[in-house]
Structure 1
Amino acid sequence: MSRPAVKIGRQSIGGKSLLFILGPCVIETPAFTRRMARKLHKICQDEGVQFIFKASYDKANRTSINSFRGTTVEDGCALLAEIGADLGVPVTTDVHSPEDIEIAARYIDILQIPAFLCRQTDLIVAAAHSGRIVNVKKGQFLAPWDVKNIGEKLKNAKSAGFFFTERGATFGYNNLVADMRAIYWMQQLNYQVVFDATHSVQRPGGAGDRTGGDGELAPVLARAAVAAGCDGIFIETHENPAKALSDGPNQIPLRQLPKLIRQLKGIRNEILR
């Protein structure tokens, strides 16, 4: 089965419906990743939504040197491409260097720029030149209007298409705050905006040698972001977040996802009436 062409924002693969980007934080094992993709595909079919499957091949900014990171760019992206082709869904993953992009662009539909790297000009330009759609995670250290400079870099490099993902702003030490005004302000710049519900509840480095978080608040923020008019929702989910190898405290248990999707669809339908 071939993967559908990716369109973004109000012309997304779901039309006027929300763009859903769903998956585990990292490729823990190939078997785990395939299983998660199949389960998400079934949930989304049952709930009548289309989605983009996400999983990182490498978590390059883990808090501790001893933290699990993932696999290689070649193996990880090839696995994601295989999953996408089997299920007929687009796939996305983080990229960390222009060298990574050369490999990832052969397999991946949407290249994601991590928040900590969102101002790296060489990385942004390489992603634009790849011919793939680019999702830039807005850094926690940026104001919403600061993304205009990133957008200009992408436009100047003749990007095939891009959007931004809001994921909270630094609020003192080891804490983030989600300002829903950011969605409006970035859309006023004529950018499409996805809201990352799970990374917005992180407590970076808050658990000492790892990142903590308030995963129970992720559905709350997701509902608020849809009410604020975001173009899509990014959610990391896991069968058992307590046993996840990365970002477990922030991920939504898979069993809770169907109800949340129904809630988000309902809110979206109301604001489009």
Structure 2
Amino acid sequence: MTNIITLNDSIAFGGNYPFVLIAGPCVIEDEALIMETAGQLKEITSRLGIPFIFKASYDKANRSSIHSFRGPGLDEGLEILAKVKEKFEVSVTSDIHEPNQAAKAAEVLDILQIPAFLCRQTDLLVAAAATGKIVNVKKGQFLAPWDMKNVVTKLKESGNEQILLTERGSTFGYNNLVVDMRSLISMNELGTPIVFDATHSVQIPGGNGTTTGGKREFVPYLSRAAAAVGISAIFMEVHPNPDEALSDGPNMVKLEKLEEVLKPIQEIDRLIKNL
């Protein structure tokens, strides 16, 4: 049986609760862009009645090139996310990369996200669990879905059962990912609500040499398929102008297109869950 993870009065994961949208630009490029995007995302999701959590990374520590933009860093990034949280009255999440970031990040973040490349890092998982916050772990591209049982066990034995697992595609040869929809079911059988990462799943890792490519045109189709499985949340990176974004532009959804992407997903979610 899947655990029901409750964030607040309006957001819960698992069971027949409506899907939650976790969305925002890949990285915090500057405060103005973040505030503009968060405001529009709040308007869109409020209009559609979709529970919403804002996400943007304060540090992209795993960029392909040492010269790539990484973000403002922990302190400034958390300040900006705190402003988003206060102004728009939304919950916020971001990645943590090192154990010593967990406690400070938890002062602002409602959910701590563990990057896919770091999903087996025991010290990072233990530190995240110790905060008492919901921990969302992205399945490594290199792992089978049932291998996430060990990740779940590490978190539970560290005293935290508020766990989300995210599917973000599996390595399929060189510079390519594929999504096996059976993975969503297999991970859900571990008793954790499942998030589908629609935009990272269409990445072409390292496909542009010093940057990652992507095929954002497939995001709507994979998202609908995931909704048909009955997932608890969908993660999408969204940007006003993805082609000019400083990170992950090729796989991000254009902000002005988001509402038309979300409507069919919402219809499928309601049908599957009898909402």
Which TM-score bucket, shorter chain as reference? Answer: over 0.9
Q: Give 2:3's aligned residue.
A: none
CA–CA distance in 2 between the matches of 1:217 and 1:7? 27
1:159 CA drift (Å): 1.2
- Give 1:54's aligned amino acid: K
Q: Which runs of 5+ in 1 are unaligned?
A: none
Q: Deviations over 1:171-229 (max 9, x none)?
A: 00000000000001111121110000000000100000100011111111111100111
Could you say what the CA RMSD is over the residues aligned between the two structures, in angstroms? 1.4
**SS of the counterpart of 1:86?**
helix
Closer/same/farther in 2, CA of residues 8 and 45 from structure 1, 3 Å limit: closer
Deviation at 1:8, TM superposition (A): 3.9
Deviations 1:13-57 (A, max 9, x none): xx7110110111000001111111001001111111120000000
More deviation, 152-161/177-186: 152-161
What do residues 144-179 of structure 1 show as CA deviations (whole Å, max 9, x unaligned)?
000000000000011151110000000000000000
Q: Partner of 1:91: helix, strand, or coil? A: strand
Letter in 2 for 1:163: L
**1:166–1:68 Cα change, 3 Å:** same
| 1:113-143 per-position Cα deviation (integer Å, ceiling 9, x unaligned) | 0000000000000000011110000000000
Determine the C-alpha separation between the residues in 2 that align with 1:218 and 1:138.
18
Counterpart position of 2:196? 195
The alignment's TM-score, normalised by the length of structure 1, stands at 0.95
Query: Which residue identity lines up with residue 9 of structure 1 in the other structure?
Result: F
Q: How does 1:137-148 map to 2 (within 5 A)?
A: 137-148=138-149
Residue 230 of structure 2 contacts residue 273 of structure 2 at CA under 8 Å; is this kept in 1? Answer: no
Identity of aligned residues (%): 51
| Larger mean Cα displacement after TM superposition, 15-24 or 58-67 | 15-24
Q: Alpha-carbon deviation of 1:102?
A: 2.3
Instruction: Mark the CA change 1:109 to 1:254 in structure 2 (over 3 Å): closer, same or farther.
Output: same
Aligned length: 268
Amino acid at match of 1:171: F
Runs ≥4 residues deviating over 2 A: 3-8
Q: Look up the match of 1:265.
A: 266
Corresponding residue for 2:232?
Answer: 231
Correspondence 1:246 to 2:208: no
Is 1:5–1:90's contact at 8 Å kept on the other side of the alignment? no
Instruction: Give the drift of 1:5.
Output: 6.1
User: Where do residues 60-79 of structure 1 align in structure 2 (5 Å cutoff)?
Assistant: 60-79=61-80
Counterpart of 1:36 in structure 2 is 37
